[in-house]
Amino acid sequence: MVEANVTMDKDKTLAYVESKWDDWYVKGLSDFIRVPNLTPMVDPEFKTNGLIEKAMECVDGYINQLEIKGISKKVFQPEGMNPLIVYVVEAAEGAKNNVMLYGHLDKQPWMEGWDEGLGPTDPVIRGENLYGRGGADDGYSPFSCMLAVKDAQLQGAKHPRVALVLETEEESGSPCLIPLLKEAKDFIQEPDFCFCMDSGAFDYNSLWLTSSLRGITIVDVTVEAAKGGYHSGEVGGIVPETFRILRELLDRVDDSKTGDCAEEFNIPCPEWKMKEAEHMANLTGATMYTKYNVQDGVKYVNQ
């Protein structure tokens, strides 16, 4: 996040991060995990129980401890919407770019199946891993972002303007993200680069950059074959089954036998993406798919 003509000292960065790791980073992330805030979709009292506000206050308190130069914060919450928090760190003198970073503070449901001694709101360190809901998805984002900014400032780096955007309803499908971004556009300003700090990692040994994710399309489909409701025991074999019709319609889009998609969903694969795929194949080999456990008898695609 620094201008190209400035070189950060890696050893100084590692030393600074290590100095803040236990007493600031892990402590802060653990405190965030302890806040039992959920995403709005699974918390009917989201707007009244004050838990998302508590999570916001937790993050804000730790960011303030860093005493970052030129930082400001605004919370955008038009009527009927959930809050969007934006931190802006003004650029170092002479820097021009504006970098937007995205993260979210809401958490997935607690779910069941936690190992003994572990739980969603009780942060526990085992080995090198911190367990608890919301640490990796996505509580780490504000802590990592602001620690990096502070390190750049301590080294006198010519860092760009940084806008950290924190959503509070990502796990509910981000229903208001677009209008909230429009509300905050004058504060965020037009970004030259945008990084979404809410993806995955192939392993824990390297820093990974996600260039694209497979998408999903959600549609509502109604199939009607008869003008009334008839008992299947009476009309089976006479009136076409609507589920069979639906399967045929889906096969026109995505053939279940061949895996081929409709022409409208196929685009030429860019050369740079082919190079990335080749690089990953050479780097990981069969681990690319064997790292994902499947049931006995299940084959990987194209195996």
Taking only the tens place, the pLDDT of each residue in 39-95 is: 999 999 999 999 999 999 999 999 999 999 999 999 999 999 999 999 999 999 999
pLDDT mean across residues, the chain = 94
Average pLDDT over residues 160-164: 98
CA dist 137 and 16 (Å) reads 24
- Alpha-carbon distances, residue 70 vs 64, 66, 92, 256 (angstroms): 12, 12, 9, 55
Does 201 have pLDDT greater than 60? Answer: yes
Please state at what angle helix 10-20 crosses helix 140-154, rounded to 10 degrees: 130
Does 147 have pLDDT greater than 60? Answer: yes
DSSP 239: S
CATH class of 10-196: alpha beta
Average pLDDT over residues 174-190: 98
Does 154 have pLDDT greater than 80? Answer: yes
Hey, what are 34's tokens?
A: 């302890």
Q: Which region among 3-7, 225-229, 262-266 has the lowest average model confidence (pLDDT)?
A: 3-7
Per-residue confidence (pLDDT) for residue 3, from 0 to 100:
55
Average pLDDT over residues 4-27: 92
Nearest to 33 by CA among 112, 105, 117: 105
248, amino acid identity: E
- Alpha-carbon distances, residue 221 vs 49, 136, 211, 217, 245 (angstroms): 37, 35, 32, 12, 11
Does 283 have pLDDT greater than 80? Answer: yes
pTM of the model: 0.87
Q: Which region among 7-21, 38-52, 263-277 has the lowest average model confidence (pLDDT)?
A: 263-277
Does 1 have pLDDT greater than 70? Answer: no
* pLDDT tens column, 209-254: 998 887 788 889 999 999 999 998 999 999 999 999 999 999 999 9
CA dist 148 and 66 (Å) reads 11
Share of residues in the chain with pLDDT > 70 (%): 98
Residues of the chain with CATH 3.40.630.10: 10-196
Nearest to 59 by CA among 155, 147, 185, 184: 147
| DSSP per-residue letters across 52-87 | HHHHHHHHHHHHHHT--TTEEEEEE--TTS--EEEE
Per-residue confidence (pLDDT) for residue 211, from 0 to 100:
84
pLDDT range class, residue 2, cuts 50, 70, 90: low
